[in-house]
């Protein structure tokens, strides 16, 4: 995905608004929503999904209200899907970055101050819970989904705001997009883990390596 400089971005926005001023709604919110929907259509034009009968059936199983017309308009190939997810995640992160409602730095500082031993212990507990769910016969997808949804609901119940908990969920989307495929090397997986720790805890890569090493040491002592 290519991003313009700030000056180019603003100039492009001004040009689009000027050229479409006669046909776009005057209300800023309606305009934003219309352009957001249009962006999906444009990405699909650049990266259209080639759907055979089996692929269309899979879409219908995921989303029963999908019609042939909507599939034609919105279906994406893999690169288009990654582009769309990255774009909409970026927009959501931008919204949080420029709002005090998503402020989490004191919480991150508090957790970081506990040290790598506590962080590694917490990680080990989560890993154990994940493995126990799988041992019950739950799929890897199901175990991950259960943990994500439970953690989100429990955090909200205990007072974490919608905008605060949205941050790690968006981080999760980013890690999913950046994660190496299962056949990649342990080193590539480790790099993804280090980036995750740096982003989640606001620490340097050197500190993240200490946390990861401690987690491995504790796992080896199981």
Distances (CA, A) of 143 to 110, 129, 133, 182, 204: 28, 9, 6, 17, 30
Asked whether residue 128 falls in the same domain as residue 51, the answer is no
Do 178 and 78 lie in a common domain? no
Question: Do 153 and 81 share a structural domain?
Answer: no
Question: Is there a single domain that holds both residue 115 and residue 199?
Answer: yes
Final residue before a domain boundary, out of 97, 128, 147: 97
One domain, residues 116 and 216: yes
Q: Find the length of the chain.
A: 222
- The range of the structural domain enclosing residue 41 comes to 6-97
Higher pLDDT, 24 or 201: 24
Residues 92 and 111 in one domain: no
Clarify whether residues 16 and 107 are in a common domain. no
Looking at the structure of the chain, the number of domains it has is 2
Domain presence at residue 58 = yes
- pLDDT higher than threshold 70 for residue 176: yes
- Block residue for tokens 């308009």: 73
Residue 61, pLDDT > 90, answer yes
Tell me: pLDDT of 152 over 80.
yes
Residue 1: the pLDDT is: 45
Residue 195 lies in a domain: yes
Residues 88 and 110 in one domain: no
Considering only the C-alpha atoms of the chain, give the largest distance between any 2 of them, rounded to a whole number of Å. 68
Q: For helices 28-46 and 78-97, give the axis angle rounded to 10 degrees.
A: 150
Distance of alpha carbon 20 from alpha carbon 12, whole angstroms: 12
| Backbone conformation region of residue 191, classed left if phi is above 0, alpha if psi is from -120 to 50, else beta | alpha
Higher pLDDT, 190 or 65: 65
Look at the pTM and tell me if it is higher than 0.75: no
d(CA 116, CA 207): 9
Q: Are residues 114 and 93 in the same domain?
A: no
* The pLDDT value given to residue 143: 96
Is the model more confident about 30 or about 181? 30
Domain boundary among 70, 97, 124: 97
* Residues 57 and 121 placed together within one structural domain of the fold: no
Could you tell me if residue 78 is inside a domain?
Answer: yes
Alpha-helical (H) ranges within 22-66 are 28-46, 53-62
Angle at 126 between CA 124 and CA 130, to 5 degrees: 115
């Amino acid at each position: 995905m290519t991003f313009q400089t700030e000056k180019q971005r603003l100039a492009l926005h001004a040009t689009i608004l000027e050229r479409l001023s006669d046909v776009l709604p005057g209300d800023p919110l309606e305009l934003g929503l219309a352009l957001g929907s249009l962006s999906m259509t444009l990405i699909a034009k650049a990266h259209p999904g080639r759907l055979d009968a089996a692929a269309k059936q899979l879409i219908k199983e995921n989303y029963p209200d999908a019609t042939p017309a909507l599939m034609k308009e919105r279906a994406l190939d893999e690169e288009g899907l990654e582009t769309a997810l990255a774009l909409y995640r970026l927009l959501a992160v931008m919204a949080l970055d420029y709002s005090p409602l998503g402020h989490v730095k004191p919480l991150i500082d508090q957790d970081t101050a506990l040290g790598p031993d506590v962080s590694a212990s917490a990680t080990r507990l989560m890993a154990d819970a994940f493995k126990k769910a799988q041992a019950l016969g739950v799929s890897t997808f199901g175990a991950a989904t259960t943990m994500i949804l439970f953690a989100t609901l429990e955090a909200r119940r205990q007072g974490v705001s919608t905008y605060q908990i949205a941050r790690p969920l968006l981080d999760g989307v980013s890690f999913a997009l950046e994660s190496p495929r299962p056949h990649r090397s342990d080193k590539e997986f480790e790099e993804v883990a280090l980036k995750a720790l740096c982003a989640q805890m606001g620490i340097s890569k050197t500190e993240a390596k200490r946390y990861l090493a401690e987690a491995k040491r504790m796992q080896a002592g199981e």
